Structure 1
Amino acid sequence: MDVMTPLLYKTTEAAMRLGCGKTTLYQLIMSGELESVTVGRARRIPAAALEAYVERLRRAAAEELDAAA
């Protein structure tokens, strides 16, 4: 990771990175599917949490393909 890549994203930034809306992002956080942290009064999403979430989605999709084959 280079020094210009943020370690923590604002919710709007995280939603944009995932390609979803803020409502969906908050649902992911509240369901425990996406890790978030609190910094002061602000909610932030670690970059690693976004990557882990996408990796879980990819694994699940691959498992579905394997099961269908």
Structure 2
Amino acid sequence: MTTAPPQALTVPEVMTALRISRFKVYDLIRSRDLPSFTIGRARRISVDALAAYIRTRTEDED
């Protein structure tokens, strides 16, 4: 059986993907630049939200 890639990432996974600190990830979440949701006390960021953030930041740089 193959495992599907995750559809929602943890804060540490986003930290690794963007190579930024935990504080900066939460700063992006607080400023609503990076949409997120909670399940209980666990914060999650959808793969699509992360891709959109990267795409937006890349377009802003051009």
Deviation at 1:4, TM superposition (A): 3.2
The percentage of counterpart residues that share the same residue type is: 33
Q: Which runs of 5+ in 2 are unaligned?
A: none
Larger Rg: 1
8 Å CA contact retained: 1:18, 1:50: no
Q: Could you state the TM-score of these two structures normalised by the residue count of structure 2?
A: 0.89
Deviation at 1:10, TM superposition (A): 0.8
Does the alignment pair 1:52 with 2:34?
no
- Indicate the residue corresponding to 1:22 in structure 2: 22
Deviations 1:8-38 (A, max 9, x none): 1110111111111111000000000001011
Q: How many aligned residue pairs are there?
A: 60
In 2: Cα distance, 1:28 partner to 1:57 partner: 12
Q: Could you state the TM-score of these two structures normalised by the residue count of structure 1?
A: 0.81
1:25-44 paired onto structure 2 within 5 Å:
25-44=25-44
Over 3 Å off, 4+ runs: none
In 1: Cα distance, 2:10 partner to 2:61 partner: 27
Q: Kindly indicate whether structure 1 or structure 2 has the higher relative contact order, using CA contacts under 8 Å at least 6 residues apart.
A: 2
